[in-house]
Amino acid sequence: MTKDPKFGPGPKVAGWHQANASTAWGQPPPAWINALAQACDDSSLARIGAKIGYSGAALSQAINHKYPGDMDAVRAAVCAHLVVPPKVAP
């Protein structure tokens, strides 16, 4: 299925956010980014954003290492609301 470029990339590809995180943050991305990307792949940016108190756009920017705001606050929200491996999440 091909879509017109001005209307987006087409159907969501499994692992899309995790692939973006690996590209933006390096391999492997921090555990909290990996947990965020996995959650967004399993659900949606908007749903996960509503759960942790950030917009889907802000989460997309965080996953892509482009969030201009307080990244430590995003990390804290992700760690508080999503399952993040404890050995890496401060």
What is the reported pLDDT for 87?
58
Q: What is the pLDDT of residue 2?
A: 44
pLDDT digits (tens, 9 = 90+) for 10-22: 446 668 899 999 9
Model confidence at 67: pLDDT above 50: yes
Half-sphere exposure of 31 (CA within 13 A, CB side): 11
Res 85: pLDDT: 63
What's the rounded mean pLDDT across residues 15-40?
92
Q: Evaluate if residue 40 carries a pLDDT over 60.
A: yes
Q: For residue 81, what are the contacts with CB-CB under 8 A and spacing of at least 6?
A: 51, 52, 53
Confidence of residue 51 (pLDDT cuts 50, 70, 90): very high
Place of tokens 């990244």: 71
Supply the pTM of this predicted model. Answer: 0.80
Measure the CA–CA gap between 23 and 34, rounded to whole angstroms: 12
